[in-house]
Amino acid sequence: MPTYTALTTLMGEDAANALAEAIEKMEPEPTGVGVFEIEDDSGLWEVGAYFLEPPNEVMLEVLALAFDAKPFALSELPEIDWVAKVRRELAPVEAGRFFVYGSHDADRVPADRIALQIEATVAFGTGHHGTTLGCLRAFDRLYGEGFRPAKVADIGCGTAVLALAAAAVLPDALVLASDIDEVAVDVAEANVAINHMDGRIETMEAAGFAHPRLAEAAPYDLVFANILKGPLVELAPDMAKHVAQNGLIILSGLLVVQADSITAAYVANGFTPEAREDLGEWSCLVMRRN
């Protein structure tokens, strides 16, 4: 069965949410509606809807006019085995000593690498995206320089690939992984089990550090936060409270054009820039707590 999509952009979160609510009342009904901020500081928001029947194009035109949105871009997605497609296209990723792979590539794991098995799922972080890759590379460099954190937190962990990397090379470290999304936490727990690290990584559902266990275990010597610009900026004061003096943070999920403003937010909260790597349009920052 094909899927039909309708996508548009408009200014402002309130307007985007209102448009999404209006789309949900359409006939035929959409199977899902999403609202996403475009992370380029433009103020634009994207509204997308998915339908199992061709959507009412006239109604979409009316809604676009009513909410001052751009005309909807309509498309039909063919029937595709997306899991098979993703598996074919997700080749293993090497980030220094780390080798991230799916089960379909188990026979390609080199003997001289630390293997992390991450399956293609709905949770973010397979190692292919520039943000996750940047974090892995940054951690690999720090580890190569002799950095051995005793307490590690992976905030917004997604698949938990970063927490798994830390646990793999830091056998005595306390490693916690949290995500605001319940599904992501389930995926993280599954990946912990797949990699035979049960008992090595504690997982929990939380927004930022808002969990009793995260507060109890602080301060941290290393914190990963691979999220988005807005949450990263909001997290800066809490990050300062939960990171040990001279502790390091690895930040990503941000565009190159956003790196300076995020750096400024953390400098204002007591951090000093240590390193930065740009991979395509994405940036990864390493900063030290003063």
The residues, any chain, with a CB within 8 Å of residue 146's CB and separated by 6 or more, are: none
Q: Using one digit for the tens of pLDDT, what is the confidence trace for 78-93? A: 666 655 555 555 567 8
Q: Annotated binding residue at 156?
A: yes
Q: Using one digit for the tens of pLDDT, what is the confidence trace for 181-191? A: 888 899 899 99
The answer on pLDDT for 281 being more than 90 is no
Q: Using one digit for the tens of pLDDT, what is the confidence trace for 221-251? A: 999 999 888 889 999 999 999 999 999 999 9
| Pick from 182, 181, 165: nearest CA to 173 | 165
Give the pTM. 0.71
Q: Annotated binding residue at 179?
A: yes
Q: Annotated binding residue at 132?
A: yes
pLDDT at residue number 247: 98
Cross-sheet strand order for the sheet of 151-155: 201-205, 174-179, 151-155, 220-226, 243-255, 282-289, 271-279
pLDDT at residue number 2: 75
Q: Using one digit for the tens of pLDDT, what is the confidence trace for 250-267? A: 999 888 999 999 999 999
pLDDT at residue number 27: 93
